[in-house]
Structure 1
Amino acid sequence: MRTGLGVPPRRALAGGEGRVLLLRHRLWPEGRQWGLPTGYAKAGEDFRDTVAREVREETGLDVEAGEVVHLKSGYKRGPARTVLRPGEMSATARRSGNQSLPTNAGHWVKKIGFLSFGHWSPSEHSRARSAADVLRQSIDLAVAAEEIGVDGAYFRVHHFARQAASPFPLLAAIGARTSKIEIGTGVIDMRYENPLYMAEDAGAADLISGGRLQLGVSRGSPEQVIDGWRLFGYEPAPGESAADMARRHTEALLKVLDGEGFAQPNPRPMFPNPPGLLRIEPHSEGLRDRIWWGSASNATAVWAAELGMNLQSSTLKDDETGEPLHVQQRKQIEAYREAYKKAGHTREPRVSVSRSIFALTNDLDRAYFGRDRNSRDQVGMIDDTTRAVFGRSYAAEPEELVQLLRDDEAIQAADTLLLTIPNQLGVDYNTHVLESILTHVAPELGWR
């Protein structure tokens, strides 16, 4: 326990079959040790009582303190003989009874990635003036991001727009130039996709990257053209909506990624076949577990959970309750996790949220994003019938930014944070944006 500092966000994790409670926050400035949430110990109070009280206040759980495993002495006394800063103490603790962890416990930011919309413009003010610029700069940014420790490089996919479109050549190229960073999409519009051909492309990109593909798919957002998927040759079945068609395509993709044979072999093939029904090749083992559904509603989040997909929640969501975006997303994540568990899946699912976040560390940052200091959620109609809430941007000095993000309930509930980037400002500036977050902000959110 470290006392006398401001109370950080709550952190709890059950280990050893739920018997041991670990509470953690990053101790600064070194940042490589973790400890009990901060608080005050009363003069003369038994350390076991202190541990139990602090845990109860921070998590709502009752625990029995065990042995002290580390004690650093040196303290000061304040008014009324209250110990203000008694140093650091590490102790084990065991949960009492059969208590469950709070729904917001055990989740902190484990991974941080960037999400590029891949915009380009011939404007003299843009560093990405052509599709070629965007593609090459995306590769360079992914390489630079890996070097500074970013966990993921994700790309939005839009059709008929001056943005990134066909993602798999880009993902494969990044996979060949990098070795650790996750490579993904957020998201591919499944109204436009042939699931079998997509499975081939995804399998190839995943094999090139060594199993680092994180494939986000969804119904897609309003497009630049009217019913563009029809121009790609796809038509909803009778009684089906375009959203229904996207989900049907997704279910077909998941089925073929399982790797089971389904195609009847030719009795006189050009080349010898393996025995039995044939599957899509190349097949990449494990890719099925790395498919994410980008959900704008609670209902589709539950649907994704039932199918065993991971969850992506973006910077906008259907406005289902009138609450702030981060509150609605937190409830969406809770509904997703409950449905995932109820479906009987044994793999631990992943959940990401996307945010526009800028640490203002120099005058250029303030010139670009200082106006976003007072940003607020916005509500609007994304089509004739759907009311949506659009998330605010976060822009502040690092210390203030940390507190703002700690108050974001969806960030606290997710395990992966995707930072939307202004890709038209170029590779060097976006590398600076990412490095500022990793250096000044992410450690205080529990990252690494």
Structure 2
Amino acid sequence: MKKIGFLSFGHWADHPSYDTKTAGDTLLQSIDLAVAAEEIGMDGAYFRVHHFARQLASPFPLLSAIGAKTSKIEIGTGVIDMRYENPHYMVEDASAADLISGGRLQLGISRGSPEQVIDGWRHFGYEPDPGESDADMGRKKGQRFFELLKGEGFAKPNPNPMFPNPPGLLRLEPFSQGLRERIWWGSGSDATAIWAGKMGMNLQSSTLKFDESGKPFHIQQAEQIRLFKKAWKEAGHAREPRVSVSRSIFALVNDEDRYLFGREADRRDKVGFIENERRAIFGRSYAAEPDQLIRELAQDEAIKEADTLLLTIPNTLGVSYNIHVLSSILEHVAPGLGWR
């Protein structure tokens, strides 16, 4: 069995072919999509977080709304850029959203990814400490957020408070028991995957990774996951870790599918350069008739290593079509791979 969720970038634009022409369209359709995805048996509704872009950004209002409208589906992010966050305020937001959902949040966080603007986190009022990079700042904030989720008191109470305090140092409220075990680190390298394993965070690995060996993407990603699991075991964490990978997968079952995604059938891994010309490898898309998809996906080593698969979706095509995309995977592909 494998958990299967969707991952939405939450795009919108005033384009004739888009069902999401405004931010309101995207937010409301995201809620409807999560509700419908739960009804067809999907395991997770995950959303990207991008600032300064016509895409979903501040995640907690959306996650809370979905939590109030659903009852079973996991609700998550992939990923929150910690360079933009106040870890203390984020603990309050995340805990409130988790309590509204009944403990179903699965939060992917990371030190960040390439942005729409130059040093966007500066506009949010954040600067790295002397001698730090912005990546260092993001990891440090992520670690602080993770520590605060323990729910331990750290703040000295006012001797003359407005309301009576419990004894001892005070923690942030509300506190959501168990949320700390549902924090994932979005890793683009072997080193950060190992770091996440040592820390005790779950691992999210996307369709982009720094090219560290020249091997095919799925092989590099599988090796990254094994390094994470090894670091987790060596750190002696009591529970079993979770690992997710993301893929663009389309089962071509009707003429509309073939028209929209038939051109993806011959896609291969791509190599490019990001972040100061660092070489990165981008995983291929999958689009084929169901039987062919099953044969191709059976060779994907990273999917085999992961317990959770996040299917990236074309959210601009509307709720109905995206439910068709997801249903096609659940019905025609997942059983043939032993995922269902």
TM over 0.5: yes
2:52 to 160, 177, 181: 160
Correspondences of 1:173-188 after superposition (within 5 Å): 173-188=65-80
Paired with 2:335 and 2:170, the residues of 1 have a C-alpha distance of: 48
SS at match of 1:352: strand
Aligned match of 1:115: 7
Paired with 1:227 and 1:117, the residues of 2 have a C-alpha distance of: 21
1:259 aligns with 2:145: no
Aligned match of 1:382: 274
Aligned match of 1:131: 23
How far apart are residue 386 of structure 1 and its match? 1.2
Q: Kindly provide the amino acid, as one letter, of the partner of residue 32 in structure 2.
A: D
1:304 aligns with 2:191: no
Q: Kindly provide the amino acid, as one letter, of the partner of residue 295 in structure 2.
A: Q
2:89 to 197, 200, 203: 197
Q: Give the aligned CA root-mean-square deviation in angstroms.
A: 0.6
2:208 to 297, 308, 316: 316
1:343 aligns with 2:231: no
Paired with 1:382 and 1:405, the residues of 2 have a C-alpha distance of: 27
2:307 to 415, 419, 442: 415
Paired with 1:432 and 1:237, the residues of 2 have a C-alpha distance of: 48
Aligned match of 1:357: 249
Aligned match of 1:206: 98
Q: Kindly provide the amino acid, as one letter, of the partner of residue 264 in structure 1.
A: K
How far apart are residue 383 of structure 1 and its match? 2.4
Q: Kindly provide the amino acid, as one letter, of the partner of residue 379 in structure 1.
A: V
1:249 to 138, 141, 147: 141
Kept in 1, the 8 Å contact 2:111–2:142? The answer is no
SS at match of 2:166: coil
Aligned match of 2:337: 445
SS at match of 2:14: coil
Aligned match of 2:285: 393
Kept in 1, the 8 Å contact 2:7–2:48? The answer is yes
Q: Kindly provide the amino acid, as one letter, of the partner of residue 92 in structure 2.
A: E
SS at match of 1:280: coil
Q: Kindly provide the amino acid, as one letter, of the partner of residue 54 in structure 2.
A: R
Paired with 1:188 and 1:148, the residues of 2 have a C-alpha distance of: 27
Aligned match of 2:294: 402
Paired with 1:336 and 1:187, the residues of 2 have a C-alpha distance of: 18
Q: Kindly provide the amino acid, as one letter, of the partner of residue 180 in structure 2.
A: R
1:239 aligns with 2:239: no
Paired with 1:114 and 1:196, the residues of 2 have a C-alpha distance of: 29
How far apart are residue 447 of structure 1 and its match? 1.9
Q: Kindly provide the amino acid, as one letter, of the partner of residue 35 in structure 2.
A: V
Q: Deviations over 1:338-367 (max 9, x none)?
A: 000000001100000000000000000000
Unpaired runs of 5+ in structure 2? none
SS at match of 1:205: helix
How far apart are residue 162 of structure 1 and its match? 0.2
Q: Deviations over 1:244-270 (max 9, x none)?
A: 000000110011100100010001000
Paired with 1:310 and 1:153, the residues of 2 have a C-alpha distance of: 17
Aligned match of 2:110: 218
Larger Rg belongs to: 1
Paired with 1:239 and 1:321, the residues of 2 have a C-alpha distance of: 29
Aligned match of 2:122: 230
Q: Greater RCO between the two (CA within 8 Å, min separation 6)?
A: 2
Paired with 1:211 and 1:447, the residues of 2 have a C-alpha distance of: 24
1:435 to 323, 327, 330: 327
How far apart are residue 220 of structure 1 and its match? 1.6
Kept in 1, the 8 Å contact 2:244–2:309? The answer is yes
Unpaired runs of 5+ in structure 1? 1-108
SS at match of 1:369: helix
How far apart are residue 444 of structure 1 and its match? 2.0
Paired with 1:447 and 1:323, the residues of 2 have a C-alpha distance of: 26
Paired with 2:300 and 2:67, the residues of 1 have a C-alpha distance of: 32
Q: Deviations over 1:35-67 (max 9, x none)?
A: xxxxxxxxxxxxxxxxxxxxxxxxxxxxxxxxx
Aligned match of 2:177: 285
Paired with 2:146 and 2:113, the residues of 1 have a C-alpha distance of: 21
How far apart are residue 422 of structure 1 and its match? 0.3
SS at match of 1:379: strand
Scaled by the length of structure 2, what TM-score is found? 0.99
Kept in 1, the 8 Å contact 2:109–2:184? The answer is yes
Paired with 2:338 and 2:31, the residues of 1 have a C-alpha distance of: 28
SS at match of 2:271: strand
Runs of 4+ with deviation above 6 angstroms? none
Q: Kindly provide the amino acid, as one letter, of the partner of residue 128 in structure 1.
A: T
Correspondences of 1:365-380 after superposition (within 5 Å): 365-380=257-272
1:145 to 16, 37, 41: 37
How far apart are residue 207 of structure 1 and its match? 0.1
Paired with 1:444 and 1:301, the residues of 2 have a C-alpha distance of: 30
SS at match of 1:320: coil
Paired with 1:273 and 1:138, the residues of 2 have a C-alpha distance of: 40
SS at match of 1:234: coil
